[in-house]
Amino acid sequence: MSYNLLKGKKGIIFGALDPNSIAWKTAERVHEEGGEFVLTNAPIAMRMGQINELAEKTGSQIIPADATSEEDLQNLVEKSMEILGGKIDFVLHSIGMSVNVRKGRAYTDQKYDWTQKGTDVSAMSFHKVMSALYKNDAMNEWGSIVALTYMAAQRVFPDYNDMADNKAYLESIARSFGYFFGRDKKVRVNTISQSPTPTTAGQGVKGFDGFIAYAEKMSPLGNATALDCANYTVTLFSDLTKRVTLQNLFNDGGFSNMGVSDAVMEAFVEKE
């Protein structure tokens, strides 16, 4: 269902790789709500080609940008304003990658140049994106910037590895930059902490199937899907959430406030 919540709003969406991507679902929902946007992803992800389908479906243009490159981001911001015909109202940062996770390296035995690469892609890129927007005065007043995160920033999930530290850093950047963006440009900055979701990035985490099944059983409302995340993001881009900023917002079916659930207890109670 469409509520026209984003009619007349213009934005940039990072991170749509394939139809499972949270950013892909978000682009579809933003389009349905009347928003216009530029799609962007790392040049290597572009070569996989699927993003063209999404661009066609949503009437969007694609500008490749490696989110770790200040030069690419400067070009992205300039070109997006040209294409969209003015300043930007919303930005989704939906980017994550850990080389240590990809290569199965234990948290206790990291290869630090891989760790650095993961931090640059997953967290510092958010600072670089906001810096490019801020320095170019590219955001409209009452605009909204959202990045996606995971609860391993607050609690221990051993297999999430160095991504846990990257997410803690990402959430801190949202607060720190969000202060300046709010004070100087009246722009809000938030992170959404999403349930485990079956995407390319999600499934890269060791033991993901057990992880997602456990979260499902722990959460009174069950896991939030990629579409649920897209819908929540739409509300944060809309004018209905104008003074929500510097927040880490859980979209997780209640998981983050649970201790234990009946469904999980059942696995441990001895059967008579």
Ligand X SMILES: NC(=O)c1ccc[n+]([C@@H]2O[C@H](COP(=O)([O-])OP(=O)(O)OC[C@H]3O[C@@H](n4cnc5c(N)ncnc54)[C@H](O)[C@@H]3O)[C@@H](O)[C@H]2O)c1
User: Which residue in the set 76, 121, 123, 130 belongs to the binding site for ligand X (CB under 6 A)?
Assistant: 121
Instruction: Look up residue 48 and give its DSSP letter.
Output: T
In the block, which residue shows the tokens 């984003």? 6
- 67 contributes a contact to ligand X by CB under 6 A: yes
Compute how many residues bind ligand X; rule: CB under 6 A: 27
CB neighbour class for 71 (10 Å; exposed up to 12, middle 13-18, buried from 19): exposed
Q: Which two tokens stand for residue 141?
A: 């007043």
Shortest-Cβ-distance residue relative to ligand X: 202
- 68 contributes a contact to ligand X by CB under 6 A: yes
- 22 contributes a contact to ligand X by CB under 6 A: yes
Q: Which two tokens stand for residue 80?
A: 């997006």
User: Which residue in the set 37, 150, 177, 250 belongs to the binding site for ligand X (CB under 6 A)?
Assistant: 150
We find the least distance from the C-beta atom of residue 86 to ligand X, in angstroms, to be 24
User: Which residue in the set 9, 196, 233, 250 belongs to the binding site for ligand X (CB under 6 A)?
Assistant: 196
- 200 contributes a contact to ligand X by CB under 6 A: yes
Backbone angles phi, psi at 246, to 5 degrees: 65, 25
Encoded amino acid at 33, one letter: E
We find the least distance from the C-beta atom of residue 161 to ligand X, in angstroms, to be 12
- 96 contributes a contact to ligand X by CB under 6 A: yes
The nearer residue to ligand X, 6 or 229, going by C-beta atoms, is: 229
The nearer residue to ligand X, 185 or 217, going by C-beta atoms, is: 217
User: Which residue in the set 88, 148, 218, 224 belongs to the binding site for ligand X (CB under 6 A)?
Assistant: 148
User: Interface with ligand X by CB under 6 A: which range of 37-45, 111-119, 135-143, 231-239?
Assistant: 37-45
d(CA 118, CA 112): 10
CB 257 within 8 A of CB 219: no
Q: How much is the CA Rg of the chain, to the nearest whole Å?
A: 18
The nearer residue to ligand X, 17 or 139, going by C-beta atoms, is: 17
With CA atoms as reference, report the closest residue to 133 among 191, 194, 193, 92: 92
d(CA 126, CA 168): 12
Encoded amino acid at 87, one letter: K
Q: Which residues bind ligand X (CB under 6 A)?
A: 14-15, 17, 21-23, 41-42, 45, 66-68, 94-97, 121, 148-150, 194, 196-197, 199-202
